[in-house]
Structure 1
């Protein structure tokens, strides 16, 4: 197989003011319900309302209705939403790259995320590169993580993942707060946690010369969606993190902020609410962080953990290179090994698009 690669090092060449960025704008949305069934529209949209503190994130762990995401869903939900959008507007959804926000997060953070690797599949169709996660690799990584032994006194991986979903459940309402009965607001700690339901935003954005359409889950909204589609939306990302007690804790938190920032920046989420918890999973305090201020806050700390401009310039350069590397037809693999600074790109299928594109999408695009 013909392999070509893009080296992230030396990252100094990506230093300087950032490449042009197009502000993310929602062009469509879809929802998954409590059974993880797909629906066009915003039926699973949730409204932010702060939880009562202290909040015990362990409650209800035994009744957790956990999404089984082992099956390969490819880009199907995103492509179904694009078909509906194209039907409605009568225009083709033009982009250089269409993918999930999670894939772009991995690319954007690659210059400073040395520990983690990734594997993605890609195909080029009608001039657009479609990228998805390599599902076998994802499941393999999850298994490795599950088998990791946690240090004494630390919660299990499963419990810590639950803490995040529990925090979301106790921080959102099904309707705006003024239309929600007080008993419902106060009874959120007793709700069964179910992470099958999701609201997903589809946004048009751009980094450098690459035009992107990204689909990704959004946790909640601060108020309501604006009347005009052009106006920014007050999305909120909900996160939990261990309390910061030492300098080492601060370095760990700054590294976490890289992912928080990248995820939110890519979909145009302006605000992140972090629930700081102790090691027993009790949230003691909340902090609101503006996404746009994160890179300068990290820079000012002087620890040099990461640089937002380098991430953006690297992504702009890499995507430009990818556009000239991945040719029409066949399936390609994008691979970065753990602790490696090299992203390899090579063909794994000569002609087939390897189920990356659904039959419905292929039929729609070839008929119009």
Structure 2
């Protein structure tokens, strides 16, 4: 799925040993945190030179189709919460979520906005508590690095 979304076609070659990461430093409670979320693709309509902000970054995720109530509950409770937390800390405003069958064929793609994910989660109070905690974060730097493995 990522291959088709990022390159636009299944015929183009995807270089799997290249990846992009944004490196963020954050100060919290007197400690400096360094983390580097993976960047799957960038929205060219939102892109700013030198990636001054993460507004143009889109995270791409894929999961199995939600075929029953248990799968839907677990998806909301765990996957969406984790996606929200990753995006919120990194400042990534949206994600694409593909839903695949057991053969790996993606049938549905959803655009998920980070600020709407807490409402979709079964445990939105946890998301909101983390959101209030995140207001104490202060981003010092935002860099884009091209990492060649």
Q: Deviations over 1:278-334 (max 9, x none)?
A: 122111111000012111221xxxx44871134457899xxxxxxxxxxxxxxxxxx
Instruction: Establish whether residue 244 from structure 1 lines up as the match of residue 63 from structure 2.
Output: no
* 1:235–1:269 contact (8 Å) kept in structure 2: yes
2:106 is aligned, of 268, 278, 283, to 283
* 1:237–1:271 contact (8 Å) kept in structure 2: yes
Partner of 2:84: 261
Matched position secondary structure for 2:26: strand
Structure 1 residues 237 and 231, CA gap change in structure 2 (3 angstroms): closer
Cα shift at 1:225: 2.9
Structure 1 residues 290 and 189, CA gap change in structure 2 (3 angstroms): same
CA distance in 2, matches of 1:229, 1:170: 23
Partner of 1:202: 23
1:225 is aligned, of 23, 47, 70, to 47
Instruction: Establish whether residue 189 from structure 1 lines up as the match of residue 10 from structure 2.
Output: yes
Partner of 2:57: 235
Could you tell me the TM-score, scaled by structure 2's length?
0.72
Matched position secondary structure for 2:37: strand
Q: How do residues 1-368 of structure 1 correspond to structure 2 at under 5 angstroms?
A: 167-173=1-7, 185=8, 188-207=9-28, 210-223=31-44, 225-227=47-49, 230-254=52-76, 255-298=78-121, 303-304=122-123, 307-311=126-130
Matched position secondary structure for 1:170: helix
CA distance in 1, matches of 2:118, 2:126: 6
Cα shift at 1:196: 1.2
CA distance in 2, matches of 1:271, 1:240: 14
CA distance in 2, matches of 1:228, 1:242: 35
Partner of 1:60: none
* 1:226–1:232 contact (8 Å) kept in structure 2: no
Q: Structure 2: any 5+ residue segments left out of the alignment?
A: 136-149
Could you tell me the TM-score, scaled by structure 1's length?
0.32
Matched position secondary structure for 1:190: coil
Cα shift at 1:261: 1.6
Matched position secondary structure for 1:213: strand
Matched position secondary structure for 2:61: strand
CA distance in 1, matches of 2:55, 2:123: 31
Q: Deviations over 1:85-131 (max 9, x none)?
A: xxxxxxxxxxxxxxxxxxxxxxxxxxxxxxxxxxxxxxxxxxxxxxx
* 1:198–1:217 contact (8 Å) kept in structure 2: yes
Structure 1 residues 251 and 206, CA gap change in structure 2 (3 angstroms): farther
CA distance in 1, matches of 2:43, 2:110: 14
Q: Deviations over 1:33-72 (max 9, x none)?
A: xxxxxxxxxxxxxxxxxxxxxxxxxxxxxxxxxxxxxxxx
Q: Structure 1: any 5+ residue segments left out of the alignment?
A: 1-166, 174-184, 317-368
CA distance in 1, matches of 2:131, 2:70: 26
Partner of 2:139: none
CA distance in 1, matches of 2:3, 2:72: 27
* 2:43–2:58 contact (8 Å) kept in structure 1: yes
